Amino acid sequence: DQQVKQNSPSLSVQEGRISILNCDYTNSMFDYFLWYKKYPAEGPTFLISISSIKDKNEDGRFTVFLNKSAKHLSLHIVPSQPGDSAVYFCAASASDYKLSFGAGTTVTVRA
């Protein structure tokens, strides 16, 4: 049972434009959300997180938005750079600290 869903398996964006990655979840007990980035042949690396008491968290070019009523979060990358081409995983956790991941979205930034 997939509790975290990333419905877009891929996204192509031009360099300098905005990348918007979406994530939906079903478990209302989730209270912490993270985004991980993964390059080929490497493990995922932490990108940005947000707790359920916030609706926005920003770190440089990366901003995560959380809409709890819609059980939806998104990651905005502005401006997109070629080095951002990777697979992005959305993850969520409740108080048990078990991370549930989405299937990932492959982002390709075109020059």
Partner 1 sequence: KAGVTQTPRYLIKTRGQQVTLSCSPISGHRSVSWYQQTPGQGLQFLFEYFSETQRNKGNFPGRFSGRQFSNSRSEMNVSTLELGDSALYLCASSRVAGVLNTGELFFGEGSRLTVL
Q: Which is nearer to partner 1, 69 or 98 (CB)?
A: 98
Q: Going by DSSP bridges, is the β-strand pair 105-110/10-14 parallel, antiparallel, or unpaired?
A: parallel
Q: Which is nearer to partner 1, 9 or 16 (CB)?
A: 9
Residue 56: which residues within 8 A CB-CB, separation 6 or more?
50, 63, 64, 65, 66
Smallest separation, CB 16 to partner 1 (Å):
27
Smallest separation, CB 15 to partner 1 (Å):
26
Smallest separation, CB 81 to partner 1 (Å):
20
Strand 4-5: give its sheet, edge to edge: 4-5, 19-25, 72-77, 62-67, 56-59
Q: Which residues bind partner 1 (CB under 8 A)?
A: 2, 4, 6, 32, 34, 36, 41-47, 49, 51, 89, 91, 93, 96-104
